[in-house]
Amino acid sequence: MMILKERRKLILVTRDTPLSLIHINNMKTITEAGGIICPASPSYYSKPQSFEELAATVIDRVIDLAGLDQNTFRWSEKE
């Protein structure tokens, strides 16, 4: 993959389940090559009030992994 060859960040967002051994081995290979596996599993920590807010928890996580600035829910010691 060109992105890994150029040492750029590759984020693989997986969504299908159940995972087969082929999926798991492929994700292992990508991780060993420097990629990041980010399952598309929503988070309920921010207490989303709609489906859109729930889906945004996955999107926010990917944006954060990409290193882009965003204003979103974050854990803090005050929580």
Note the pTM of the prediction, 2 decimals: 0.75
Residue 79 lies in a domain: no
Domain count, the chain: 1
Domain that holds residue 20: 7-65
Residue 77 lies in a domain: no
Residue 60 lies in a domain: yes
b (16+ CB within 10 A) / e for 12-35: eeeeeeeeeeeeeeebeebeeeeb
DSSP 20: P
Residue 36 lies in a domain: yes
Per-residue pLDDT 10s for the chain (79 aa) are 688 889 899 999 998 889 999 999 999 999 999 999 999 999 888 889 999 999 998 998 899 899 888 877 666 655 5
Residue 76 lies in a domain: no
Residue 56 lies in a domain: yes
| Paired tokens of 63 | 């944006």
